[in-house]
């Protein structure tokens, strides 16, 4: 009778030294959810003519870096805890989204 035990194949994945991006989700789950809500709001407001899966209308705004810095500053200057009258979200959510847009634009230009 032959041994019917099969050896388990072991796969390989070379991810040593690579950035653990999912840790950011574990560290800041509430913040990521808040910014995702602003992202969806912006997509619904400005992304009517874009591919529904890309959500990248914001990348095509003329002078985007300057304009998103300005938007971040306006939201940041609002009183702590106050809500944006248009979206209903706290201004801090919008501040962070705009800063992320600035960071992405800056990193993409390099």
What pLDDT score was predicted for residue 5?
Answer: 78
User: What's the domain range around 95?
Assistant: 58-110
In a domain, 7, yes or no: no
What pLDDT score was predicted for residue 49?
Answer: 79
In a domain, 73, yes or no: yes
Give start and end residues of each alpha helix (H) in 7-90: 22-27, 29-46, 64-76
Q: Which comes out higher in pLDDT, residue 15 or 53?
A: 15
Residue 81: DSSP 8-state: T
C-alpha dist (Å) from residue 49 to 33, 83, 97? 25, 28, 21
Statement: residue 15 has pLDDT above 90: no
| Cα 90 from Cα 35, distance rounded (Å) | 10
In a domain, 45, yes or no: no
Helix axes 64-76, 91-109, angle to 10 degrees: 160
Statement: residue 8 has pLDDT above 90: no
In a domain, 52, yes or no: no
What pLDDT score was predicted for residue 3?
Answer: 63
């Amino acid at each position: 009778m032959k041994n019917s035990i099969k050896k388990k194949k072991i796969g390989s994945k070379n991810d040593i030294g690579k950035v653990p991006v999912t840790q950011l989700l574990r560290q800041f789950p509430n913040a990521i959810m808040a910014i995702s809500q602003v992202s969806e709001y912006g997509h619904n407001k400005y992304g009517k003519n874009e591919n529904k899966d890309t959500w990248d209308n914001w990348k095509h705004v003329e002078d985007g870096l300057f304009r998103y810095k300005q938007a971040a500053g306006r939201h940041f200057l609002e009183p702590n805890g106050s809500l944006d009258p248009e979206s209903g979200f706290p201004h801090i959510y919008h501040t962070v989204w705009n800063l992320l847009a600035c960071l992405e634009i800056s990193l993409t230009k390099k």
